[in-house]
Chain A
Amino acid sequence: MGSFSLKWDKFVSVLIDSGGYKKVLEGLGNTLLIAVVGLVIGIIIGTLIAAVRVLPVPIKWKKGEFNKDRKRSVKYCLDKFFKGFCSFYVGLFRGTPVVVQLLVFYYVLLPLMGIKITGVGVSIMVFGLNSGAYISEIMRGGILSVDRGQMEAGRALGLSYGTTMIKVVIPQAVKNILPTLGNEFIALIKETSVVSFVGASDLYVAFNYIGSNNYEFMVPYIVMAVIYIVLVIIISIGVKMLERRLRKSDRRN
């Protein structure tokens, strides 16, 4: 135990006296920034993709010629194209590890397009696109779990498909998927620990820096683990509170 307290002292001295805490704060900030902004982008992309994928196939036939003209209509082709694109997108981002996506974007795609962007920027982008693919599937399940009658009631009142979707179906879908969405956020927080691959300084980089200062890695990495756990616990509590608020309409008073 004596050696551990020695290690602890060394860690504290690097953390406080040598300004290691600045690195930690920067890393924590970046980790949260990437995860939160990534999640927001992911929710937006995911909802859009899910909305396209649950769109009913446009049926436009000439009356009396059942189903004949359907395949030729512009709407039908557009619908096919967008749905195809969306499943391609989801397949691509779910089919490759996020590290590979980071590397490809940072070292291949963005340089090819001549775009210069920081490691943190690339990370936000990649994690947004990546979680968009996962969230689209979660959201699709959520939308399908809402009773068909809700859409029918909206349409019967003369509201459009889009309006009913936004005002009635998606709010209920979001409520249904909130626990899963919280899970996705937690996964995202943890997955961001690979962004050092593209030179973004996150929690890992900060504690690695502290450890390599005096080649004492044990304490920094334990503290890093604790910070991740605390983050995840805070998020879990937040999600539960949000859930309770949204469940308001289910409770009997």
Chain B
Amino acid sequence: MIDVINLKKTFNDGFEVIKGIDLTIEKGDIMCIIGPSGSGKSTFLRCLNCMEDATDGQIIYHDVDIADPSVDINVHRQHMGMVFQHFNLFNNKTVIQNIMMAPVHIQTKAAKKKGSQDKRSREQIKKDAYDNAMRLLGRIGLEDKANAYPSTLSGGQKQRIAIVRALAMNPEVMLFDEPTSALDPEMVGEVLDVMKELAKEGMTMVVVTHEMGFAKEVANKVIFMDSGKILEMNSPKEFFENPQNPRLKEFLSKVL
């Protein structure tokens, strides 16, 4: 579904974070990226939906090179959900507004275009988005928080709502940027449970994480990155029980 070809990224100060990555993400893949801090794993993930502009290489998504700056990236991002370490819920909006905002805005805009298939009125779009948002909130058991502001929620609740907000756009692939790193240990479980459920439904996921247990249990491919390169990619069983790369062996011996 996504083909990454020789992706490179250099920061403005000349530091080369990503030194050429080739990777194919298939539909239904659950890919976990692990590695030490500063290895470029978050930057790589952010390059996938062009939150960071790659300086070289290609990201082929639906036969389009989205790393090309002349591509309208907004259209492609609508199909790629992203979940952040610090949740980034819109602080000035209630939970339900957070979830409804992007679908309503984008669908209304699309419906207004001439020759659009979507003949719904703005009210109808809003109603559909609301129903969908409530259904999604129901899935994570937070319907009662629909009208709460993010500042009143716990970290775990915020992150689950952030996941649902991304799901409201019906994405084909979900990118998770250390979704549990900013959470109290107690709340990690509830977020991982939501992610596991998504995985079961066949969502394509790319997850940068430090949760080895999650990688072992849920992923079908685990990637080890260090100093801007992929050093090893394997099934979780092979990856954790029979690591090949010496750097990975050292890393695993420290974290496991």
Provide the residues of chain A in CB contact with B148, threshold 8 Å: 253
Interface string of B76-117 (1 = CB under 8 A from A): 111111101011111111100000011001100000000000
Segment from A9-17, A78-86, A97-105, A167-175 that makes contact with B:
A167-175
- Whether the pair A149, B166 counts as a contact (CB closer than 8 A) is no
Partner of A66, one of B10, B77, B80, B169: B10
A116 within 8 A of B: no
Across-interface contacts of B82 in A (CB, < 8 A): 153, 156-157
Give the docked Cα–Cα distance between A253 and B84 (Å).
26
Interface residues on A, range: 20 to 34
| A152/B149 in contact, CB under 8 A | no
Within 8 A of A (CB), among B47-71: 49, 51, 53-57, 67-69
Q: Name the A residues within 8 Å of B69 (CB-CB).
A: 59-61, 63
Map CB proximity to B onto A144-171 as digits: 1 under 8 Å, 0 otherwise: 0001011011111111100100011001
- In chain B between 115 and 160, which residues have their CB closer than 8 angstroms to a CB of chain A? 148-152
Q: Is A249 an interface residue (CB 8 A)?
A: yes
Distance in Å: Cβ of B143 to nearest Cβ of chain A: 16
Specify which of A149, A158, A250 lies most central, judged by the most chain B CB atoms within 10 Å of its CB. A158
Contact between A252 and B90, CB atoms less than 8 A apart: no
Q: Which of A63, A248, A250 contacts B68 (CB 8 A)?
A: A63
B169: chain A residues at CB < 8 Å are 157-158
Could you show 13 A-B contacts with beta carbons less than 8 Å apart? A66-B55, A154-B90, A155-B77, A156-B77, A156-B84, A158-B79, A159-B74, A160-B74, A167-B90, A168-B92, A171-B92, A250-B151, A251-B152
Give the interface of B toward A (CB within 8 A). 10, 49, 51, 53-57, 67-69, 74-82, 84, 86-94, 101-102, 105-106, 148-152, 162, 165-166, 169
* Chain A residues close to B by CB (< 8 Å): 59-61, 63-64, 66, 147, 149-150, 152-160, 163, 167-168, 171-172, 175, 248-253
